[in-house]
Amino acid sequence: MADDDFRPFRDGFRWDGVDLLAYKEDGAAPFKAITRQVLFAEAGMGCELRYFEMAAGGYSTLERHQHVHAVMILRGHGHCLLGEAVRPVKPYDLVTVPPWTWHQFRATRGEPLGFLCMVNAERDKPCLPATDDIARLRSDPMIAAFLDGVAG
């Protein structure tokens, strides 16, 4: 067995042999207080499994893309925007982000929010919302409250 085939979990949602990374390498997209850890990115596997964690009040980028996200909440409570729905989320809830669906996660509960995200190893780049996309989303009061960080 190679040394890295078994990677124990450590306090603070860290793992032996897993680096704590910036959320995105491209700093142009808006986000806040969120980190990324790549748990599995194996040669020959069609997908990667990543762990993202927001500090209280943090959020992921509001974006959409062709590729699908398969998400399981792992730590804490918060909210997610998926398409036109804002949902509270708790540990082990499952969220499927279909192609070209606006989505964002927010740590709205005064605690960290962490989730697993399975994604194709080869995928397209996310698209950010244009001004009219934001206006359309904000026409729903629940989504407006979510985007203003006052959901729930």
126-145 footprint of its own copies as x/- string (CB under 8 A): --------------------
Pairs from 87-94 (Cβ < 8 Å, separation ≥ 24):
88/152, 89/113, 89/115, 94/70
Rank residues 80 and 107 by Cβ distance to its own copies and give the closer one. 80
Residue 74 vs residues 39, 85, 116: alpha-carbon distances, Å: 13, 21, 6
**Alpha-carbon distance 1 to 65, whole Å?**
38
Kindly tell me which residue out of 20, 21, 84, 110 binds its own copies, with binding defined by CB under 8 A.
84
Kindly tell me which residue out of 101, 111, 138, 144 binds its own copies, with binding defined by CB under 8 A.
101
Residues that bind its own copies in the complex, under the rule CB under 8 A: 1-2, 4-9, 13, 15, 18, 39-40, 42, 44-47, 49, 67-68, 70, 72-74, 82-85, 87, 90-99, 101, 116, 118, 120-121
